[in-house]
Amino acid sequence: MSNELQKFSDPGLPEHIHRKADTDPAAAKKAERQVAILFALSAIGTIVLIGSYIFVKPNKFVFLPIMGDTNVQQALLGVGLAMSTFFIGMAAVHWGKTLMDDREVVAERHEFRSPESDRADFVATVKEQGAMAGLGRRTLIKRSMGVALGLVGLSPLVLLRDIGPLPKKQLETTSWKAGTRLVTDPGDRPIKPADLEVGAVAQVLPELIPGTERTLENVGKDAVLLIRLRPEDFNLNAERLSWTHDGIIAFSKICSHMGCAVALYEQQTKHLLCPCHQSTFDVTRAAKVIFGPAARPLPQLALTLDADGYLVAKQPFTEPVGPSFWERSS
């Protein structure tokens, strides 16, 4: 069979089929009324929305089946907003499908580039105007204009700088330090290895330094998953194995794809699964990505025991946690 492309003739547009409203004035009138009713329903929705905001007391509740005690104002705001937007959409779709011109039109593509003659005219005009303005002769003006225009281009940088302090190393570091105890979340209880059975998984956070508070921002970076396997289940190099303790291994809970919480652990396969886009990480191989869009393993937190036998971090994370939009070392 020849590899040459077979030529085929342009099939053109299919024959235009007239809708009922195109040929029957009564049907067109009916469609027009339907569109008007849909717009009217939308307007009623907006009136409900505004009316409930102004006239309904915010502390009024009513019992509704399934929903239970419901705030009347909130319910009416929701219903009003839903009606106003839904019926506008319905009206527009119905209008387009029944009454607007539905003939297909062919718009030929054309080149965006201007014709050569227009381009040449433009260059000639710029040169001519430049000559008339005396730019060639007035070097002082030419140079000062260059400085002014160059500097004005820098002003957006000042505005950008003004949107807040620079994040510095904040995005790349967490609260985990050498010796930080792992505590349960929730509960803030320090953990001993005996607290975890083989197959168990727990979410932990760094122990709070007295006098400080846990911020949501820190929890978003510090959350760690603690998993206990049998030590012989691991398939790790010597360094990563030394970061585990008696079958207990810890990984950042923040997905290296787009930062969702890696919340699902499959005990049989020993896989961690991110529910957002199904990235799957193999716990036995240092959270190596075995499926999905994540490009990097979950960072592993090195573990050891303190003098009281509690699990602590051996060192901070050795790489940034979370989405890998900045360059990481692994």
Residues in the site for ligand FES, rule: CB under 6 A?
Answer: 255, 257-258, 260, 274, 276-277, 279, 292-294
Query: From the CB of 182, what's the least distance to ligand FES, in Å?
Result: 23
Closest CA to 95 of 31, 50, 153: 31
Cβ closest to ligand FES, residue 205 vs residue 272: 272
Cα–Cα dist 54/73, whole Å: 9
Query: From the CB of 33, what's the least distance to ligand FES, in Å?
Result: 49
Query: From the CB of 244, what's the least distance to ligand FES, in Å?
Result: 23
Contact (CB, 8 A) for 297 and 304: no
DSSP string computed for 110-126: --SSPPHHHHHHHHHHH
CA within 13 Å, CB half, 47: 6
Cβ closest to ligand FES, residue 193 vs residue 220: 220
Which two structure tokens, joined as six digits, stand for 306?
């303190």
Closest CA to 250 of 222, 226, 274: 226
Cβ closest to ligand FES, residue 203 vs residue 315: 203
CA within 13 Å, CB half, 264: 11
Cβ closest to ligand FES, residue 80 vs residue 299: 299
Query: From the CB of 262, what's the least distance to ligand FES, in Å?
Result: 7
Query: From the CB of 316, what's the least distance to ligand FES, in Å?
Result: 23
> What does the DSSP 8-state code read for residue 261?
B
In the block, tokens 């929903």 appear at 67
Cβ closest to ligand FES, residue 84 vs residue 280: 280
Query: From the CB of 278, what's the least distance to ligand FES, in Å?
Result: 6
Cβ closest to ligand FES, residue 241 vs residue 264: 264
Closest CA to 322 of 250, 269, 260: 260
**Which SS3 state, helix, strand or coil, does residue 303 take?**
strand
